[in-house]
Amino acid sequence: MTITVAHDGHVQDHTAATATGVSPVSKRIVVTYGFWIFLLSDIVMFSALFAAYATLSRATAGGPSGAQLFDQVGVAIETACLLASSFTCGLMSLAIDSRRFGATYLYALLTFALGGAFLALELREFAHMIAIGAAPQRSAFLSAFFALVGCHGLHVAVGLIWLLVMMVQVKIRRFSAAVERRLLCFALFWHALDIVWVWLFTVVYLIGANQ
Amino acid sequence: MTIMQYGHAPGDAGEVSTRSTLIIYMTGLFLAVVLTATSFWVANTSIIWSTGVPLGLSVLAIAQMGIHLVFFLHITTGPDDTNNVLALAFGVLIVILVVAGSLWIMTDLNENMALPAELMDLHMQH
C-alpha cells in the first residue's frame, strides 16, 4: 500500500485520529469506507429481494403476468432519467471539488429534478397497476415485484430528501470538511442506486417481459 | 499540521484534474447509454435465439455494472483501493450466494414437489 502525505487543516480530524488510537488514515477515507460497507450491505439486502422476485416471477396465480403489465417505453424513460441524474451527480461532485457554489446548486437541482421525474413515473406506473387490479395482494409475483421495485423507489425518495438537506447544509456551512464528506457519501449512494436499477430493469422489465 | 494518509476513499476521483474527471464521467455516460440501448434492443429483437436473451441481458447488466463502478464510483485496481475492492468482492460473493443459492434450491424444490397441473396454480400462491 502506498503512503502519501496529506495536508489536513482541520483540527477535529486530528483529534479524532489521536482519540481512536494510532490510526493514520484521514477521516474522509474512514467515513466513506464505512459508507461503502453500508452500501454493499444494502446491495446484499436487494439481492434477497431479487432472489425472491426471480423465484416468484412465474407465480402469477392466474393474475396478470409481467409481459402483460410492463410498459417498456416508460421503463426506458425512467432509465434515462436515473442515468442522467447519476451523471449530473458526478458533475456536482466535480463542482464541489473545485468549490463552485453556483454549479453545485445547478447540478444538485438537475439531479433532484431527474430523480424526482424518475420517482413520479414509477409512482404513476404503480398507481396504474393498482387501478387495473394488479395490486401487491393479487399474486406472489406482484408482491415480489412491488417489494423489489418499491424498495428501490423508497431509496430514491430518501436520496432526494438527503440531497435537499445537503443543499441546505452547503448554504449554511459552505464546503466544510464534514459537509464535503457527506456529499461524497451522497454521490456514492446515488451511483449505487443506479447500479441496482441496472439490474432491476434487466431482471424485472426486460427478462420478465420475455417470459 | 500534517498527518499521514493512505488508502483511497471510494467515490473519490483522486489527484486528477477537473477536466480529465469530466472526460471520465462523459465516457461512463456514453458507455452506459450504449449498453442500456443494447439491452432494450436485445430484449425486443427476434434476431437473437430467444433462450439466449436472458443470458445476453445478464452479460450486458454485468458490463454496465462494471462501467458504473469504474467511471462513476472510481473504483480502481490500484494498491490504494485494495480495501474497497476487497469489500466489493465480498459483497459480490454474498450476492451470488444468495441469488444463485435461492434459485437453485427453489427450482429443485419445485421439481421434486411437482403437483398435477391443476393444483400447480394453487401451490404457487403460497
**Amino acid identity at A24:** P
Residue A28 binned pLDDT confidence (cut-offs 50, 70, 90): confident
**Can you tell me the mean pLDDT for A88-102?**
88
Is residue B91 very low, low, confident or very high in pLDDT (cuts 50, 70, 90)?
A: very high
Same domain for B37 and B9? yes
**Cβ separation of A44 and B94 shorter than 8 Å?**
yes
| Whether B9 and B44 share a structural domain | yes
Mean pLDDT, rounded, for A114-135: 91
Q: For residue A175, how far is the Cα from the chain centroid?
A: 23
Interface contact A59-B73, CB threshold 8 A: no
* Mutate which: B95, B96, B108, vs A, most A CBs within 10 A: B95
- Above 0.85 for ipTM, yes or no? no
Residue type at A186 in one-letter notation: F
Residue A8: pLDDT band with limits 50, 70, 90: very low
Measured between CA atoms, how close is A81 to chain B, in angstroms? 11
CB-CB neighbours of A68 under 10 Å? 11
Q: Residue A198's closest chain B neighbor by CA?
A: B61
Mean pLDDT computed over every residue of chain A: 84
A59 vs A2, more confident: A59
Nearest to B13 by CA among A191, A25, A207: A191
At A150, list the grid cell.
Answer: 418499491
The pLDDT tens digits for B23-73 are 888 898 999 999 999 988 888 877 878 788 888 888 999 999 999 988 888
Pair (B48, B1) in one structural domain: yes
| Separation in Å, CA of A99 to nearest CA in chain B | 11
B6 or A102, higher pLDDT? A102
Q: DSSP character for A201?
A: I
B54 and B111 fall within a common domain: no
Mark whether B10 and B64 lie in a shared domain.
Answer: yes
Look up residue B7 and give its DSSP letter: S
Q: What is the DSSP letter of B71?
A: I
Question: In this structure, are B58 and B19 located in the same domain?
Answer: yes
What pLDDT, on the 0 to 100 scale, is given for residue B116? 64
The total domain count for chain B is 2
Q: How far is CA A37 from CA A32, A90, A116, B76, in A?
A: 9, 20, 27, 16
Of A187, A198, A210, the CB nearest to B68: A198
**B9 and B59 assigned to the same domain:** yes
- B54 and B27 together in one domain: yes
- Digit-coded pLDDT (tens) for A33-87: 899 999 999 999 999 999 999 888 888 777 788 778 888 888 899 999 999 999 9
Domain positions in chain A are: 27-210
Residue B3's H or E segment, with its range, is strand B2-6
3-state helix, strand, coil in chain A (%, to 5): 80, 0, 20
**Chain B residues inside the 8 Å CB shell of A31:** 9
Maximum Cα interatomic distance, chain A, rounded to a whole number of Å: 65
Confidence of residue A3 (pLDDT cuts 50, 70, 90): very low
Task: Determine whether the interchain pair A202/B13 forms a contact, defined as Cβ–Cβ distance below 8 Å.
Answer: no
Q: Is the model more confident about B110 or about A3?
A: B110
Collapsed DSSP state (helix, strand, coil) of residue A175: coil
Residues B65 and B112 in one domain: no
B56 CB neighbours in chain A (<8 A) are none
Task: Give the CATH superfamily of A27-210.
Answer: Cytochrome c oxidase, subunit III, four-helix bundle (1.20.120.80)
Q: Which residues, 6+ apart, have CB-to-CB distance to B81 below 8 Å? A: B8, B10, B75
Tell whether A45 is within 8 A of chain B (Cβ).
no
- pLDDT-based confidence at A102, cuts 50/70/90? confident
Q: Does B60 sit within 8 Å of A195, measured CB to CB? A: no
Q: Are B39 and B70 within one domain? A: yes
Residues B13 and B52 in one domain: yes
Cβ contact B28–A33 (<8 Å): no
- Min Cα distance B93 → chain A (Å) is 10
Give CA–CA dist B59/A59, Å, rounded: 25
Facing residue for B6 by CB, picked from A2, A98, A194: A2
Question: What integer pLDDT is reported at residue B52 of this predicted model?
Answer: 82
Structural domain boundaries, residue B27? 1-76
Contacts of A33 in chain B (CB under 8 A): 7, 9-10, 83-84, 87
